[in-house]
Amino acid sequence: MAPLRAPVRLDRPRLLSALASPAPLVALLGPDGAGASTLLRQFAEERDDVTWAGDGRIPDVVSRTLVIDDGDALAPDAWERVRQLRITRPDLVVRLAVRSARAVPLAWDVEWVRDLAFTLDETIAYVAARDSHLNPRTVQLVTGGLPAAVVAVVEANVVDADAVRLVLARLAPHPLPASAAALAVPEFLTPALAAQLGGDDAVIERAERAGHGEWRTDDGTLIFALTAPIRAATLAATPIPEGEQRAIRHRAARALLQEGSGLGALVEGAAADALDIVDAALRRDGLKLLWGNGPRIAAALRPIPLLQLRRWPVIALAQALILNARREHKVRAAELLGVALLGVQTGQSEPADRALLRVVESVARRLTGVGDRGLRAARAAARVLDELPAAELEQLRGLRGDLHAHAAISLLYGGDDEAAVEQFEQALATAVRPSVELVAYGGLALVHAKIGDLPAAQTWAAQATGRPWPDDILNEYQGSMLWIAESQLALERGDVGAAEAAIAPIWPIIDTIEHWSAIAMVRAWTDVSAGRPHEGLERLRALRSRRGRRIASGSPAARVLDATESALALAAGDLVSARRLTSRPSDVPEVMLAAARVAVFDRQHERALKLLNAVAARTPRQRTESAALEAILLHRVGRAVDARTLAQRAGTLARTYGLRTPFLVIPADEHDLFAGEVDDVPAPITVAGVAPQLTAREAVVARHLVDTASVEEIAARLHVSVNTVKSQRRSLYRKLGASSREEAIAAALAYGLLTGVDPTRAITAVDASAADAAKTNRTP
C-alpha cells in the first residue's frame, strides 16, 4: 500500500452557497466522514464576525454568526442557551452540523442541507487534483461518495479490492456488533428489512445517532444507508461467506421491492443476480430510477453479460439510456440498444407488458436510428395503452407517464405532431413525478412552437415556468424541450438575446442529448436572426458531422436538418449550397417549402409554384410560409393584386399566431411586399455573386446574345426553330433575373457565365443594346 499523502481541499460551491442562505438557522446533516466540519470552517473563513462553538458548549459572548460543530453533543441546557440567543439577538445567524436530525429541537425552523456526499463530478475533480490513476467511478462506487472515504482511498492510491476494504475499515471508529453483522451486507436498509436480518427495533436509530449512516428518500420510501467504512469494518470483524451474502442481498432486494424502494431493489437485485427483481423494479418505477440515479444504476448493471440481457430487454434499455448520455460510452450504449430491440422482438409478453415493450422498441429504434426510428412502435404503444382495461393499466402504475412521454417523443421526431400532442397530454395527466410533468409540459410547448401555434406554445410554457423545478432536471434532459420552446418563442418576438439565453443551459449537453437536432435548428434560426448565418452554417455542419451519423439521410429528422442548412446557406448568400436541397416525394411539408424557397431565390418560378402546389400546408407555420412565397412569385409575374392578397393573408396568419421567422429569409427585392402587413419585417436577404445553374442550351444562347439580339439569327446558327430559342431565352432571363437582353448579358457577365467571351465585347454589346433601347424610346 502506498504511503498516505497530505490531502487537498476541494471547494464545494453548491454546499457553501447553501450555508450562505439568508435563513437564520441552517444545519448540515450527514454521517461521520461527510465533511460537515470542513464545510463549516470554509464558511467561517469567509467571515470576520464568527464565533466557533464545539465540545457541546455555547460561549457566553457570541458574534453575529454562531457556528456550532457537532451539534449532536449539545445538552438540553445548551440548546436552551441557543434559543435564548435567537430571541434576544434577532440578527443572529446560526450554522451547525449534526449527524441526526433528532438532535435539533423538534419545534425549531431549520433549513436542512443534506447530500453532503461527493457527487461523481466532485470525486472526478478530487482524483484529478491528486493526479491519481484510480478510476473515479470505481472510487465513487466503493465509497458511496463519502468525502472521508474518497480521500482515504485516493490518498492510499490502492486498487486491490481487499486493500480498499482495509482502508475503509480503518476509517470506522468501531464495527457493528456481530449480532447485527448481516445489516452491513446490503447497501440499503429499512426498519422492516433490518428486523428480518436480525436487528432490533432501535438498531437504525442508534446507527444514525452514532453517525454510522444516513436516511435517504427513494420515491417516498425512506431507506437507510450505512457508510462504506462501517460496512467494511463490520464485515472485516465478522466475515460472512460470499454465498450467504448473495442470499442476504436477494432477500433484501425482494423486501425493498415490496416496500416500494425501486433503487434499493434494483441495486440489491443486481448484486444478487436476481434479474427478475431488477426487471420488476424497472417495470414498476421506470425511468424515474434513471433520472438522478444513473451512475449508481449503471455501476450495478454493468457486470451483467450482454447475452444474458436478451431475456431482459427493459434492463438492457435502462442501461443503454444511462450510457447513451455519455459520449465515451456511445458504443456500449448502441450494443445495449440492439440487445433491447432483439429481446423485444423475440420475447413473449403478457397483455399488460405490450405497451411497455413497444415503448422499449420505440426508444431503441429512435436512439439507434434503425428503420423508422420508432414511429410505428410508438403508435402501437399508444393504441395498446388506450385499449388496456383499468386492472391491467394498474399494473403499470407509476410507469404510465413515462410510457406516454417516450411514445410522444418518438411521434414528434417521426413527424406526427397531432399524435405527439395527444401523448404528451396523456403523460401530463398520468404523471406521478415532477420530472415527467416537466417533460410533458416542455413537449407540448415545443410541438406547438414547431407548428407555429405560438399562443398555445406560450400557454404551455407559462404553465411550466410558473412552477419551481429542481435544477438537476430543469437544465438536463427533462427540461430541454421546454428551453427549446422558450428559445423559439423568443425568436418569434424578435428577442435574439432571450433566444440565446434560453438554450444556454442545455447547449453544454448537445453532444449527448437526443434532442440535439431540435436545439441545433433553433440555434440556426437564432444565428440568422442575429445576422451571423456564416457562423451558424459552420456550427450546424460541424454538429451534423459529429452527431448525424445515426440519422438515416432520408428520414424526416435528417431532411428537416437539410432544410435548416439550406435556409442558413441562403441567409449567408450561398445559393450554390442552398441548391443542394432537392425535393423528394416523401418529404414533409417543411422540406418542400424550404425547396420552394430556394427556387424563389434562384428565380425558378415555375418549379417554385409546382412545389408550393404540392405542399399540403396544414399548420400555421406552413400556411404562413406558403402564402408568403406564393405572394412573392405572383408579384414577380406581374399579378400584383393577387400578390397583395396573399401578402395580406401571410400577415394575418403571422399576427394571429405570433410568427416572425417565416419572413427571416426572403429576397431583398420582395421585402416591401410585406411592409405594413407584417409587424417588424426582418432585414431582407440578398443573394449576390452566385451563378444560377444554366442548361447547356441556355449557356449557348447566352453567348450568342452577345453577338446579336436577333432570335431568328440565333435559331439559324443553332439549327433550331425560332420558338425554341424564344423558350430558351425566357428561361435564361428568368434564371438571371433579367427582363431584357442587356440585363441578361450584364448578369451573365457578372456571374462569370460567359466563359470564352471577351469581356470588352460583352460590355460593348450591353452598351449598344442599351443605346438602341434608349433611341427607340425617344422615337416619336
Whether 763 has a pLDDT exceeding 60, the answer reads no
User: For 533-547, what is the mean pLDDT?
Assistant: 91
User: For 372-398, what is the mean pLDDT?
Assistant: 83
pLDDT of residue 689: 47
Spatial contact of 405 and 421, defined as CB atoms under 8 Å apart: no
DSSP 189: B
Whether 309 has a pLDDT exceeding 80, the answer reads yes
Percent of the chain with pLDDT over 70: 89
Measured N-to-C along each axis, helices 722-736 and 711-718 cross at an angle, to the nearest 10 degrees, of: 110
Candidate from 18-32, 315-329, 725-739 with smallest mean pLDDT: 315-329
CA 637 distance to own-chain centroid: 46
pLDDT of residue 7: 57
User: How many Cβ atoms are within 10 Å of 669's Cβ, its own excluded?
Assistant: 13
pTM: 0.69
Cα–Cα distance measured from residue 692 to residue 690, given in angstroms and rounded to the nearest whole number? 7
> Which phi-psi region, left, alpha or beta, contains residue 680 (left: φ > 0; alpha: ψ -120 to 50)?
left
779 band by pLDDT with thresholds 50, 70 and 90? very low
User: For 622-641, what is the mean pLDDT?
Assistant: 92
Spatial contact of 18 and 26, defined as CB atoms under 8 Å apart: yes
Whether 114 has a pLDDT exceeding 80, the answer reads yes
Whether 565 has a pLDDT exceeding 90, the answer reads yes
pLDDT of residue 346: 61
pLDDT of residue 4: 46
Q: How does strand 213-218 pair with strand 221-226?
A: antiparallel
Task: Select the highest-mean-pLDDT range: 216-225, 360-369, 511-520, 688-697.
Answer: 511-520
User: For 220-239, what is the mean pLDDT?
Assistant: 92
Cα–Cα distance measured from residue 368 to residue 374, given in angstroms and rounded to the nearest whole number? 10
Q: Which helix (H) or strand (E) holds 775?
A: helix 759-778
Give the three cell numbers for residue 191.
Answer: 426498519
pLDDT of residue 591: 94
User: For 567-593, what is the mean pLDDT?
Assistant: 87
pLDDT digits (tens, 9 = 90+) for 162-186: 899 999 999 998 899 999 999 999 9
Closest listed residue to residue 447, CA positions, set 407, 418, 467: 418
- Mean pLDDT over all residues of the chain? 86
Candidate from 4-8, 575-579, 757-761 with smallest mean pLDDT: 4-8
Whether 438 has a pLDDT exceeding 80, the answer reads yes
Domains and CATH numbers, the chain: 13-116 (3.40.50.300), 117-171 (no CATH), 176-273 (1.10.10), 288-432 (1.25.40), 551-690 (1.25.40), 696-778 (1.10.10)
Whether 777 has a pLDDT exceeding 50, the answer reads no
Q: Which residue has the cell 442481498?
A: 249
Q: Which carries the bigger pLDDT value, residue 696 or residue 344?
A: 696
Q: Which residue has the cell 436509530?
A: 205
Buried b (16+ CB within 10 A) or exposed e, 126-153: bbeebebebebbebbbbbbbbbbbbbbb
Candidate from 279-288, 691-700, 712-721, 768-777 with smallest mean pLDDT: 768-777
Q: Which carries the bigger pLDDT value, residue 583 or residue 426?
A: 426
pLDDT of residue 288: 63
Cα–Cα distance measured from residue 103 to residue 36, given in angstroms and rounded to the nearest whole number? 15
Edge-first strand listing for the sheet containing 25-29? 50-53, 65-68, 93-98, 25-29, 111-113
Q: Which carries the bigger pLDDT value, residue 636 or residue 443?
A: 443
Q: Which helix (H) or strand (E) holds 401?
A: helix 400-413
Side chain identity at 435, as an amino acid letter? S
User: For 583-606, what is the mean pLDDT?
Assistant: 89
Cα–Cα distance measured from residue 439 to residue 493, given in angstroms and rounded to the nearest whole number? 24
pLDDT of residue 211: 93
pLDDT of residue 484: 97
690 band by pLDDT with thresholds 50, 70 and 90? low
Instruction: Using DSSP, state whether 113 is helix, strand or coil.
Output: strand
Spatial contact of 172 and 237, defined as CB atoms under 8 Å apart: no
pLDDT of residue 739: 76
State whether the Cα torsion 665-671-674-680 is positive or negative.
positive
User: How many Cβ atoms are within 10 Å of 700's Cβ, its own excluded?
Assistant: 17
Candidate from 139-153, 316-330, 489-503, 523-537 with smallest mean pLDDT: 316-330
pLDDT of residue 300: 87
pLDDT digits (tens, 9 = 90+) for 3-50: 445 556 788 888 999 999 999 999 999 999 999 999 999 999 888 899
pLDDT of residue 325: 60
Q: Which carries the bigger pLDDT value, residue 678 or residue 650?
A: 650
525 band by pLDDT with thresholds 50, 70 and 90? very high
